[in-house]
Amino acid sequence: MLAYRATLDVPRELVQHVAGLLRAERRARGTRRNTRRLTCFYQAMLALVWFRKGEDKTTLGAGFGVSRATAYRYIAEAVAVLAAQTPTLHDALRQVAADGWSHVILDGKLFDTDRLAETTTSVKGVSIDAWYSGKHRDFGANIQAIMRPDGLPIWTSDAMPGHLHDLTCAQHLDITGALYWAASTLDLPTLADSGYDGTGLGIHTPDKQPADGRALAVDNRAHNLLLRSMRCLGERGFAILTGRWRTLRHTTTSPRALGDIVAAALHLTHFEYRHLPQTR
């Protein structure tokens, strides 16, 4: 196997931040000094290379002089530590309101995974692939996210099977309940696309075309135009995550672990965007 020099295009401060979190985790576990193959700094580099470039873990481990199993374990540790830093949904909504933003944006995305053998029973009583999305015609995990009006994602959900619709995921994870609370208590309404139609007060969705084929009234068309013009920036949220952290574009790990992986990438994004209180 040949080795070559490469550059990791992340700020050194981010590597040091992740290394600090890993160091605290090692102390909490009671890990003895000089018993790990890599220092916290190089373990942080290993994890960030994986997030940034999405390289094969076996090859990546060889580049850092560790075995395949050690590379998997080191990356899993980093993912768990980073995911634990993300705020709860209620805390994220409170921070957005405190920062003076007028609304938040709700959206969902199917994160691509390998084909899976897990099956479930559909509402029609038919056995289907649990992680297959008929809408996207692909296998993956459904992740819900809340974005600020400028498109920065502030919170992401646990992974849900790909066959579920966005509204079903939002209701199952009680995201809708938190958003109702934000609208009534924090005066922070939510904008969403038509996939969330029927969510109720506080979550605004476009007016649908009448079933009889008639054109929408002028007021309804104006409402839809205004809603889409304000919501469109929210589409940047997932693009910020997948564009920066390439490992999110396709994963071969268990799709149930995608929630933590996306949450870890969210914390890295918050650090780079100075969205963390300690980095402001």
- Among residues 83, 107, 135, which one ends one of the domains? 83
Considering the domain architecture, whether residues 132 and 206 belong to the same structural domain is answered as: yes
Note whether 95 and 35 are same-domain residues: no
Kindly state the percentage of the chain with pLDDT values over 70. Answer: 98
**Domain annotation covers residue 219:** yes
Question: Is the distance from CB of 138 to CB of 132 less than 8 angstroms?
Answer: yes
* Same structural domain, 158 and 220: yes
Domain-embedded: residue 229: yes
Say what the pLDDT of residue 98 is: 95
For 207-229, how does the pLDDT look when each residue is reduced to its tens digit (9 = 90+)?
888 888 888 889 989 989 999 88
Evaluate whether residue 174 is within a structural domain. yes
pLDDT at 13: 96
Task: Return the pLDDT at 280.
Answer: 37
Dihedral sign of CA atoms 126, 130, 135, 138 in order = negative
Single residue among 32, 49, 83 that ends a domain in this structure: 83
Residues 168 and 220 in one domain: yes
One domain for residues 194 and 222? yes
In the predicted model, is pLDDT for residue 278 greater than 70?
A: no
Contact assessment for residue 275 and residue 94, using Cβ atoms and an 8 Å cutoff: no
Structural domain includes residue 176: yes
For the chain, the domain total comes to 2
226-252 pLDDT per residue, tens:
998 889 888 889 999 999 999 999 988
Residue 277 pLDDT = 64
Sign of CA dihedral 20, 24, 25, 29: positive
Same-domain check for residues 132 and 53: no
The confidence band for 116, taking pLDDT boundaries of 50, 70 and 90, is confident
Q: What pLDDT, in 10s, does the model give residues 66-87? A: 999 999 999 999 999 999 999 9
Full-model pTM: 0.92
Domain shared by 184 and 228, yes or no: yes
Same domain, 149 and 22: no
Residues 154 and 277: their CA atoms lie apart, in Å, by 13
* Segment among 6-10, 20-24, 138-142, 191-195 with least mean pLDDT: 6-10
Could you tell me if 149 and 169 lie in one domain? Answer: yes
Indicate whether 78 belongs to any domain: yes
The C-alpha torsion from 204 through 151 and 166 to 179, rounded to 10°, is: -50
Residues 252 and 139: beta-carbon distance below 8 Å: no
Among 68, 83, 98, give the residue marking a domain's end: 83
No. of helices (H) and no. of strands (E), the chain: 10, 9
Domain that holds residue 98: 89-257
Strand partners, 143: 109
Residue 213, pLDDT score: 80
Instruction: Tell me whether residue 270 is in a domain.
Output: no
Q: Which residue has the higher pLDDT, 126 or 153?
A: 153
First to last CA, the chain: 44
**Of the candidates 277, 226, 267, which has an alpha carbon nearest to the alpha carbon of residue 18?**
267
Q: Residue 130's pLDDT is what?
A: 87
